[in-house]
Amino acid sequence: MKPSKQLYVAALIASILWMASCAHQPIPEAYDPPGFFMGIWNGLTIFFALIGHLFDDSIRIYAFPNSGGWYDFGFVIGVCMVAGGGGSAASS
C-alpha cells in the first residue's frame, strides 16, 4: 500500500514543528526595548536600512533586543505597507 500525500504533508508539518520547538530567543536585557510603533517604522524603512547595511555593518534592518511579538507584528505591517502586502496581486 502506497502512503498518501496527506501522510507526507502531516509528516512534514510534524518535523517542522519538532525542529522549531528547540528554537528560542534570548531574553532581551534592555531598559526600554522597541515596541509596536518602532516595528512599523523599521518595516517602513527596510529598503533604506538594507542599502545602508551593505555599506555599514552597524546598521540593522531588524531591532534586537525588541519587545517580542508586538514588535514583530508592527514590522510585518510596515513591510507590507512598503512592499504592497499581496493586495496588488489580487487585483490583476
Count of domains forming the chain: 1
Assess if residue 91 is contained within a domain.
no
Task: Identify whether 60 is part of a domain.
Answer: yes
**Tally of CB atoms within 10 A around 11:** 11
Host H or E run for residue 54: helix 46-55
pLDDT by residue (tens digit) across 67-81? 888 898 999 999 988
Residue 15 to residue 60: CA distance in whole angstroms: 31
Answer whether residue 92 is part of any domain.
Answer: no
What does the block give as the cell for 57?
A: 555593518
pLDDT (tens digit per residue) in 16-67? 888 877 777 666 677 888 889 999 999 999 999 999 999 998 888 888 888 8
Provide the pLDDT for residue 59: 87
- Which structural domain, as residue segments, surrounds residue 33? 5-86
* Within a domain: 78: yes
In a domain, 70, yes or no: yes
pLDDT surpassing 80 at residue 86:
no
